[in-house]
Chain A
């Protein structure tokens, strides 16, 4: 019989039921024996009850801690550089901004890891934005993203240089490659973090992320394995600004040829014309939903978006009705976005939609139903006819922007 991973000390427990209320997974009940009972099929060992218990009655089996000296060998904060045809994705600058703070807190160097072909002249952009070192792997085989070599190369670099923290954007490419790196390196990986910090006592990386569509937040650590790896949600962290004259070291890496092979082959890349402003990158998004009534009416949303230089988003209802392609869908089964301004036109705000946009800085909602859930998250809301209100907004913003 294996030892139970979580247990309640009957002597300490006062049956106060704080743990029952604290459990986010509804795994604890008082039904059996008038004593808190933990349903191990539901329990995820998240520890919320341990923290809630005022009587130290609940304990979770602790793993054997790694030897401190093993972890001490791991130094520096690494950032994976995402580039497309030599253009560095802005998520990289956000990682450099956040990585700089973490590196300073730890008294370590901030390093950028760049893979590509003919990209060596881009290293300055990274050092000017705070990287102390750039590990550069410049090979024709790395001209564009391919899952296998793009995962094997960082695995090798991690082995050779032992970073303490390794961050990557929570983008399509980032998530595809970094999941492979973490498994191969046998280390922890936390997805889609919206907050990172160093624990002042343990010096561990505290990785906070939304779960259940943003309804709960979880803070996660990787206590016994290095590097501590995380992907970071785009548009949440502040970009590092370039500083003229700031220099760093560029370390050109030679990589064994067999690590650069790929079983998958990219036959073609096609830019989608429909998504001229990529909503994952957009600072402002104007979204339309069922309230638009018919596909032609999307034009008023597009006009407002155009006036604002914004991306066009949509609710699932609008996409399912074929009013607009799936690449515009915001929400749980679409994209998670985090713009500075999100304007929801005729979107009621189902929980799945809110999951995709509720971390926007400012939310403006226009809906005729005063009870629509979107108003619960809105910074500003207007109850009324969107066909009247949206064009007025377009005019006002045109005036402000002088076009």
Chain B
């Protein structure tokens, strides 16, 4: 079985600090990591391969340095890495990104299942996975927390909803987005690290993908950012450091209306 896992390189938010004076992000020296949700997608793709045989291809769209994310995926057990990279892709929103990734998947071809993390930690949109499925006319199961059954023909999976979960079956090929609960990602093996070093990362640009120019990059993106700003700091909080009993009384009094309102 050929499994494709889509990953994104993102800034490591554990490193991101807020400058207390200007209330802006301090990005200096912030490391790049694989989007945390994609780590679960990588792990799940390797588990499917271990069960059914075949190979896993990781694909990422991004700048040349995103190659590091693909090498890390290989160190975890992914077989091949494909970097979708071209200046013409700059400024892509989720429409253009899902179009471009779908074009790359078509080019790679011959896959049974596509896995994505539920969303990326920098954009938080959760739109690219379903977007790829739509461009490729694939069925989808989003927010998957468990794969119950999978064979060459079909998959049965649990989708996490706000108030419970549902069990869904789908014929293959199918696209899945996964949540954290699905597994516990493994660490890279020594053999994996060696493979990652040696691996050749295939690169695909706009021409190889035969993308329609009006559908990629800035031109292919219907949305446009007009303003970026830092939210006003919450600040001004009242912190009580002594006499907890008095503090509890004061706070409970101030919250009386909120609490009564919520319990109407």
Contact = CB atoms under 8 A, between A and B. Distances in A.
Interface of A: 2, 5, 24-26, 40-48, 51, 60-61, 63, 84, 147-148, 151, 171-173, 175-177, 179-180, 182-184, 186-192, 206, 210-225, 262-272, 275, 278, 280-281, 283-284, 308-310, 326-327, 329, 332-334, 336, 340-341, 350-352, 355, 358, 361-364, 370, 375-385, 388-389, 392-393, 396-397, 400-401
B95 A384 contact: no
A270 B165 contact: yes
Interface string B172-186: 001000011100000
Interface in B121-153: 121-131, 133-135, 139-143, 145
Q: In the complex, which of the residues B222, B244, B254, B259 has the most CB atoms of chain A within 10 Å of its own CB atom?
A: B222
Contacts of B225: 44-47, 218-220
Contacts of B11: 212
Given A211-B123, A332-B121, A340-B261, A396 B249 contact: yes
A172 B142 contact: yes
Contact of A26 (B28, B167, B256): B28
10 contacts: A43-B90, A172-B142, A172-B143, A215-B16, A216-B230, A225-B222, A340-B258, A363-B237, A383-B241, A388-B244
Contacts of B33: none
Nearest to B215: A186
Contacts of B129: 179
Contact of A176 (B36, B142, B248, B254): B142
A147 B139 contact: yes
Interface in B99-126: 99, 121-126
Contact of B258 (A26, A268, A362, A377): A362
A224 B93 CA distance: 14
A60 B174 CA distance: 38
Given A180-B130, A341-B255, A351-B13, A377 B237 contact: yes
B88 A2 contact: yes
Contacts of B162: 171-172, 278, 280-281
Contacts of B99: 183
B227 A270 contact: no
A214 B234 CA distance: 12
Contacts of A84: 163
B64 interface: yes
Interchain residue pairs A-B with the least CB separation, the first 4 = A188-B222, A41-B63, A179-B130, A396-B252
A376 B13 CA distance: 18
Chain A interface main SS type: mixed
Nearest to A148: B139
B166 A268 contact: yes
A309 B260 CA distance: 10
Contacts of A308: 259, 262-263
A333 B224 contact: no
A219 B230 contact: no
Contacts of B211: none
B191 interface: no
B238 interface: yes
A180 B133 CA distance: 8
Given A183-B95, A210-B124, 17 more contacts: A24-B25, A147-B140, A179-B94, A179-B129, A180-B134, A188-B95, A188-B222, A191-B125, A219-B226, A263-B139, A265-B169, A334-B180, A351-B13, A362-B258, A385-B244, A400-B260, A401-B259
Contacts of B79: none
B263 A309 contact: yes
Contacts of A341: 255, 258-259, 262
Nearest to B133: A180
B204 interface: no
B228 interface: yes
Contact of B94 (A172, A189, A221, A269): A189
B164 A269 contact: yes
B2 to A, nearest CB: 19
Contacts of A376: 234-235, 237
Given A264-B140, A272-B165, A378-B237, A389 B248 contact: yes
A16 to B, nearest CB: 17
A41 B64 contact: yes
A217 B230 contact: yes
Interface in B5-51: 11, 13-14, 16-18, 24-25, 27-28, 36-37
A216 B249 contact: no
A266 B259 contact: no
A389 B243 CA distance: 10
B14 A375 contact: no
A61 B228 CA distance: 18
A126 B16 CA distance: 43
Nearest to A39: B63
Nearest to B237: A378
B227 A51 contact: yes
B160 interface: yes
A189 B124 CA distance: 13
B252 A188 contact: no
Nearest to B85: A41
Contacts of B230: 215-217
Contacts of A224: 222
A90 B174 CA distance: 31
A344 to B, nearest CB: 12
A5 B239 contact: no
Contacts of A211: 122-124
B160 A327 contact: yes
A22 B169 CA distance: 48
A183 B171 contact: no
B166 A270 contact: yes
A189 B224 contact: no
Given A284-B259, A378-B237, A2 B95 contact: no
B239 A186 contact: no
Contacts of A171: 162
